[in-house]
Amino acid sequence: METNKFCYEYPRPAVTTDCVIFGFDEGELKVLLIERGIEPYKGRWAFPGGFLNMDENSDECARRELFEETGLENVFIEQLYSFSDVDRDPRGRVITISYYALIKLADYKIQAGDDAEKAKWFPISKVPTLAFDHDRILRIAMNRLRGKIRYQPIGFELLNEKFTIPELQNLYEIILEAQLDRRNFRKKILATGLLIDHKESVKGVPHKGARYFSFDKKKYKELSERGFNFEV
């Protein structure tokens, strides 16, 4: 294969997308990391990502990478920020358009198994020092998540289709790093009118089982088009 086939009048940076993939499980917020098999940063962990193809925009690129890594499609994914420091990649000038995704970890588990690459879920608190400027990317992703969960219904993206209110509260408490009052939380979240009560409860626990709810996406879409604002 011939090399250096693509020539331009002025120098151009390489463009990649990197994706911070959040999952929530066992009362912990986690991110999916890939262990680098080659230099630079060999042996260090990094967010999955890859080069932008010429026939796709950055959203498509990020979704493609996400699919290749997790087998998941149609998940919540959003552009985060673009990083372009001159020395962020020792191999040369590489800019990255970063994204973050929220996935239902239970779905991922079905898909997982093809361990071509060494991918691993890390609880946020146990993320090691990352390759490149990915520590910074994670910090920005966490801030975005924390900010956004308060006024957009994105928490549901991290839970199963059916979830309980205590589960949801737990998720909020962990992301916001704050204790919330059980009664007030329930009141507020039910007051949105966006939860569908499935009238069935968790079975097999040695205490009263919590009721299952699901998020009414269709109703939310209608309401938000009419200027309604979700807020917790």
Task: Look at residue 184 and give the partner it binds from DNA, its own copies, none, a contact being a CB closer than 5 to 8 Å depending on partner kind.
Answer: DNA
147-206 residues near DNA, rule: CB under 7 A: 164-166, 181-184, 186-188, 201, 203-206
Given 37, 38, 39, 54, the residue binding its own copies (CB under 8 A): 54
- Binding residues for its own copies, rule CB under 8 A, total 30
218 in helix, strand or coil? helix
Encoded amino acid at 207, one letter: H
Alpha-carbon gap, residue 17 to 48, rounded angstroms: 9
| Binding segment (CB under 8 A) for its own copies, from list 9-17, 65-73, 102-110, 219-227 | 9-17
Alpha-carbon gap, residue 86 to 108, rounded angstroms: 35
Given 26, 38, 39, 55, the residue binding its own copies (CB under 8 A): 55
Nearest Cα residue to 29 out of 182, 232, 170:
170
Closest contact distance (angstroms) between CB of 188 and DNA is 6
Query: What token pair was written down for 116?
Result: 């071509």
Nearest Cα residue to 15 out of 101, 90, 82, 100:
82
Residue 225: which residues within 8 A CB-CB, separation 6 or more?
none
Residue 4: which residues within 8 A CB-CB, separation 6 or more?
none
Residue 11 sits in the site that holds its own copies (CB under 8 A): yes
- Give whichever of 51 and 222 is closer to its own copies, judged by the CB atom: 51
Q: Which residues bind DNA (CB under 7 A)?
A: 164-166, 181-184, 186-188, 201, 203-211, 231
Q: Which residues bind its own copies (CB under 8 A)?
A: 3-15, 51-52, 54-59, 79, 81-82, 84-86, 93, 95, 97
